[in-house]
Structure 1
Amino acid sequence: MYLLCKTFIAFLCLFFSIPSVAGAPQEITAFGSNPGQLRMWIYIPDGLRDPAPLVVVLHGCAQTAAPFAEASGWIQYAEQQGVALLLPEQQAANNPGLCFNWFEPDDTQRDTGEALSIRQMIDRVQADYAIDRKIYGVGLSAGGAMMAALLASYPDLFAGGAIIAGIPYGCAKDLKSGLRCMKTGRDLKPKQWAQLVQRAHRKQASAVRCKSLVSIWQGDADPIVNPNNAQELLEQWTAVAGIDAHPDKQEIQQGYQRQVYQDAQGENWVETYTLSGVGHGAPIALPDDAGKSCGHPTDFVLPVGICAPDAIGRFFGLSRTP
């Protein structure tokens, strides 16, 4: 009887160690060595697909993980589409402004600092749930710049990433140069930008076996991140994909312009959204005539008439419904 009781208790411990988080994000505290000293949150909807896509959602400065995911519409998208969300969170001890340290090489290269912490978080989610091997991500501002770093450092892991009001990978090497990148941008040739990406994973031969879909979003009235950065991001990621920076498709709607960049076979690799008259923030849509909405406005989450999660999900092929 003692052995049976002990076995049952062990089973309960194992069972309850796998988080069940439908309804609210939950913090996970054990996920590896965590060299970047980040916090880990996850959101798992009731209708999780099997296998489920995983989207890594990276907040901007002065934000925290769960409120940003909710306000920007990603929790709603996860519920509708059955995808899992990983929500890394910065701590004030690392950065007083709660910005991911996208400008620090020790935090953005493969298997170092914050980049490795996020990789370890992904490993934990994959261990606990039936997750598709293709991982996707999205980030705003400092989170967007960190998303570019993850795409550069882990091209074998990330199948796609969305960079909203972000900075090209390798633009900065410290805080001073990071501020300069934000204020004025940095003008390099596409080949030079691509070389910075290639150096990020040069020690890992298997990392170069695949390239990622990249979605670039930028408000043309952004007072915090110079809109020139969107053009440099475009040049960086089209060069990485081995395609030119001339759009193959264009869509103009009230308030924004979308351009798509394809390879010779007509396959999409990069898209850009230029948001007219829009400042610094993640784009959401307020309720339309049919009552549909996307997130809710708050600091750096802007109601501009387009739901970024829906658009990004379609580009990545994650959406199971229109």
Structure 2
Amino acid sequence: MDFSKFNMTPPHLKEAMELMKSGRLKEATTLIQNNLSGNVSDSNTTDNTSNTNTMKDVTPDRPTLQDSATTKKAKPTEKEKSVKKENMANTEEFASKSSNKLPDSIQSLTDKIKNFKLDLPSAMNISGISAGLNTHIEPTIPENAQFLKGTFKSSQGSHDYRLYIPSNYVQAVEQSLQVPLIVMLHGCTQSPEDFAVGTRMNELAEEHQCLIVYPSQPASANPNRCWNWFRPTDQQQGQGEPAWLAELTRSVVKDYAVDPSRVYIAGLSAGAAMAVIMAETYPELYAAVGVHSGLAYRSATDFPSAMLAMHKGGSADLQAAKNSQFVPMIVFHGDQDHTVSIRNGEQVVEQAKQRLQAQKTGLNIQQHKKSSEQNCRSTQLEIKDDKGVSQLEYWKMHGAGHSWAGGSSAGSYTDPNGPDASKEMLRFFLNR
């Protein structure tokens, strides 16, 4: 079923909008926060008689025509003049503050809605509630590098993409060298440009002499530009989004000097869930996969199960994963992620671990404590094969939310505190 045809704004968000319109900002913020954390109050927040924290109107009542006629004849007392003067001062102060910045409660509400809507499936379109981010900021690129815009026509239709070609690519071609390719799948509400800026992957492409392709999910496929990871038609080889992503990947490999054995795919959130699907449906195409704040394969098969999976973990059969081909994987997830529960990251790792152990012997499992330069602590689980090559890594980031670790604040949904997920992914991909 295609849920993109419906607009199912959650009831609590509708209620929050009504509270905001009536000036009850604190209640609106509390309502959203409670629903995001799962603490829903039993009381009716729209009951005006039971709440004593309503914002009071400091603007004097406007007199009727009859009142105006009366007030022309009667001179105001000194007390009335004092009250009027105080009311005017309060009104001017309120207007001044409102023109400069949103009240803290509204700003907090807006920020939480931005984070909340990052991974909502198509039916949960709440983009009209919060101020949208500018996700089409063109990244700065060095001289002789290119960030091409393209439209790829496949069996699944036409889709846009961006392709980053580093400035040293020509040198590789002149030396008859083949370069690696990384496919980067953005999260909901994001764009290729925003994702490139936030992950700083283009800068690493310059350092490691590789191509980066950023497929673009159009709003026509999903109102929030999410990859439809929760639909059965987009979880299989040969159809839907996996089919066109595979065709795009093959096309770049064919048209450029790309080493077919060094093609990788990574994503954030909904993009990470789709990256997992690509590794499952086209394991021969990708040498490794990077999963940041994503979900396991077939965690959900419709909209209700997708919402449940995001908040409590999916219902995928982890034992069945043993029969699938293992693709080396590096996983990042914050233990304070309230958009996609860390339970999902654990399921991604368990699914991959089941495959790895079924297909390889002599594995060495290690656990390390890590700390970034900004003192962001992580626990790293690493499984190496008998040759000492890392096959599966899981970075559990303590205190981190639903953001790309170590990313640039110029992009959306990033956490500059690290660890540097982009750098670690490239290290994992290329050291094989």
1:187 Cα deviation after fit: 5.4
Question: Take 2:183 and 2:252, find their aligned partners in 1: how far apart are those partners?
Answer: 11
Question: Take 1:178 and 1:44, find their aligned partners in 2: how far apart are those partners?
Answer: 36
1:318 Cα deviation after fit: 5.4
One-letter amino acid of the counterpart of residue 417, structure 2: V
Q: Deviations over 1:189-229 (max 9, x none)?
A: 6413445xx3xxxxxxxxx5xx3210010000001001011
Q: Match for 1:27 among 149, 160, 167?
A: 149
Q: Which residue of the partner structure matches residue 327 of structure 2? A: 212
Identity of aligned residues (%): 27
Question: Take 1:22 and 1:272, find their aligned partners in 2: how far apart are those partners?
Answer: 36
Q: Match for 2:166 among 45, 49, 53?
A: 45
Q: Which residue of the partner structure matches residue 379 of structure 2? A: 257
Structure-to-structure mapping, 1:157-306, within 5 angstroms: 157-186=285-314, 190-195=318-323, 198=324, 208=325, 211-242=326-357, 248-254=365-371, 255-264=377-386, 266-284=388-406, 295-306=408-419
1:140 Cα deviation after fit: 0.1
Question: Take 2:251 and 2:314, find their aligned partners in 1: how far apart are those partners?
Answer: 36
Distance 1:260 1:154, change over 3 A: same
Is 1:95 equivalent to 2:222 in the alignment? Answer: yes
The RMSD of aligned alpha carbons is: 2.2
Q: Match for 1:64 among 160, 168, 191?
A: 191
Q: Deviations over 1:164-191 (max 9, x none)?
A: 0000001111122111110110356641
Are the aligned partners of 2:300 and 2:314 in contact in 1 as well (CA < 8 Å)?
no
Distance 1:69 1:77, change over 3 A: same
Question: Take 2:416 and 2:257, find their aligned partners in 1: how far apart are those partners?
Answer: 34
Q: Deviations over 1:236-260 (max 9, x none)?
A: 001112269x971222122212110
Q: Which residue of the partner structure matches residue 138 of structure 2? A: none
Secondary structure of 2:300's counterpart equals coil
Question: Take 1:53 and 1:173, find their aligned partners in 2: how far apart are those partners?
Answer: 33
Secondary structure of 1:117's counterpart equals helix
Q: Deviations over 1:101-156 (max 9, x none)?
A: 11112122112111111111112211221101121011000000000000000111
Structure-to-structure mapping, 1:84-123, within 5 angstroms: 84-123=211-250
Distance 1:41 1:279, change over 3 A: same
The count of aligned residue pairs is 275
Secondary structure of 1:101's counterpart equals coil
Structure number with greater CO (CA < 8 Å, separation at least 6) is 1
Is 1:76 equivalent to 2:203 in the alignment? Answer: yes
Q: Larger C-alpha radius of gyration, 1 or 2?
A: 2
One-letter amino acid of the counterpart of residue 230, structure 1: G
Q: Which residue of the partner structure matches residue 307 of structure 1? A: 420
Q: Which moved more, 1:300-309 or 1:161-170?
A: 300-309
Structure 1, gaps ≥5 residues long: 1-20, 199-207, 286-294
Distance 1:32 1:187, change over 3 A: closer
Q: Scaled by the length of structure 2, what TM-score is found?
A: 0.60
Q: Scaled by the length of structure 1, what TM-score is found?
A: 0.79
Are the aligned partners of 1:43 and 1:86 in contact in 2 as well (CA < 8 Å)?
yes
Secondary structure of 1:38's counterpart equals strand
